[in-house]
Homo-oligomer: A and B are copies of this chain.
Amino acid sequence: MTNQIMVKMVLDTWYSKIKEADDIFNKLTDEQLQKAVVPNRNSGIYLLGHLAAVHDRMLPLLGLGERFYPQLDKAFIDEADNADTAKTPAAGLRESWKKVNEALSNRFNNLKPDEWFQKHNSVSAEDFIKEPNRNKLNVVINRTNHLSYHTGQIIFLEN
């Protein structure tokens, strides 16, 4: 029962922050996304691709299947924002962002409360015995904060 409540607390927050980011991205035109959120910092395009890539990586990390877009990592995780990123068409990234979050949502729904407290795939079985907090639900807590951090930045692209 308590596990179920905890999972609800974490997932409700995740979904509300996804919706908050979605609402901003949907309001922004492709032209607005090309702009840097602050002069000489990341563009909206970069942050959209970055968030899509980070969320895509959650699929294998949580044992929820193969990822869809490993090709996003080079431009949106390994490298900083650059002139090439700005040329990436927004439409494709918007679609990736949507598809990844829908896939996560569908697969989250199939996990039983207790499964959320199992280890994620970046921690060894040995370490997990000592640190049972390194479980799947903790990944969602961390990624929700990562999303909030960048949402605080993309909001600056709104007029």
Name A residues whose Cβ lies closer than 8 Å to a Cβ of B: 2-3, 5-6, 8-10, 12-13, 17, 37-38, 41, 117, 132-133, 135, 137-138, 141-142, 144-146, 148-153, 156
Using known A-B contacts A2-B2, A153-B153, A156-B41, determine if residue A9 contacts B138 with beta carbons closer than 8 Å: yes
Residue of B nearest to A150 (CB): B152
Interface of A is mostly: helix
Query: Complex: how many Å from CA A38 to CA B2?
Result: 42
- B residues in contact with A145, CB < 8 Å: 13, 17, 144-145, 148
For the complex, give the distance between the alpha carbons of A12 and B156 in Å: 29
- Contact, CB under 8 Å: B5 / A132: yes
Complex alpha-carbon distance, A78 and B6, angstroms = 32
Contact A2 to B3, CB < 8 A, known contacts A141-B13, A152-B148: yes
| One of B2, B9, B12, B148 near A148 (C-beta < 8 A) | B148
9 A-B pairs besides A9-B141, A41-B156, A153-B153 with CB distance below 8 A are A6-B6, A6-B137, A9-B135, A9-B138, A13-B142, A38-B156, A141-B141, A145-B145, A148-B152
